[in-house]
Amino acid sequence: MKNLKLVTATIVLLMASTRLFAQQVKGDFEIGFSGMYNQASGNGRTFKNGMIQGSFGFYVTKRVELGLAPSITINKTGDDTRISKGGQVFATYSFLSSGAKLVPYVGGGYYYFDSGVGGDDTLGFAGVNGGFKYYIAPKAAINFSVNYMTATKKPKGIDSLNSMMIAVGLSYLIKRS
């Protein structure tokens, strides 16, 4: 509970920052790079993944971003370890506030990747996320998100497959104007 209070206080202080850093506007492009750890379980099996992901987004409004994010994943199931590729299509909604360096957001997406778990290895997940970008420079931000996903396409013999993923990365705005 003490850690939750500390995290909450830190976020409130960051949001109260008054120095205006660049924030996205309609027409901007954003590129990003993130790393994440994911552990999924279903039917008594556990899948562990480490993922490196690039992202390419376009702001269709100053608050709404649509994008693609290719990824490389290291999958571990029991003693078996495999490297696979995948990606995500996503949409985010940013809660912009004038003068803030911290920009909270929510979003959703569809993730797909080769799981390396025999048979048809392609997995699909529909998910939601929430996080924030903290601007460390006029166009650069540290990005933190928590993602919850549920499988829409599962390996044979798995009834349900859910996943929680924490991602940390950097993003950079490319201004059109």
Residue 25 pLDDT: 87
Ordered per-residue pLDDT tens for the chain, 177 residues? 565 565 555 555 554 443 456 678 899 999 999 998 877 676 676 777 788 999 999 999 999 999 999 999 887 777 778 888 889 999 999 998 877 789 999 999 998 877 655 545 677 889 999 999 999 988 899 999 998 988 887 666 667 777 788 899 999 999 865
Alpha-carbon gap, residue 146 to 83, rounded angstroms: 23
Task: Return the pLDDT at 17.
Answer: 46
Q: What is the pLDDT of residue 57?
A: 97
b/e map 94-114, b = 16+ CB within 10 Å: beeeeebbbbbbebebebbbb
Q: Are 122 and 155 in contact (CB under 8 A)?
A: no
Q: Which residues contact 66 (CB under 8 A, 6 or more apart)?
A: 57, 58, 60, 90, 91
pLDDT at 117: 52
Res 100: pLDDT: 77
| CATH of span 2-174 | 2.40.160.20
Phi first, then psi: give them for residue 161, nearest 5 degrees. Answer: -150, 115
User: pTM, whole model, 2 decimals?
Assistant: 0.76
The pLDDT of residue 5 is 60
Under DSSP, is residue 130 helix (H, G, I), strand (E, B) or coil?
strand
Is residue 129 within 8 Å of residue 109, measured between CB atoms?
yes
**pLDDT in the model for residue 6:** 54
Boundaries of every domain in the chain: 2-174
Helix ranges (H only) for the chain are: 2-15
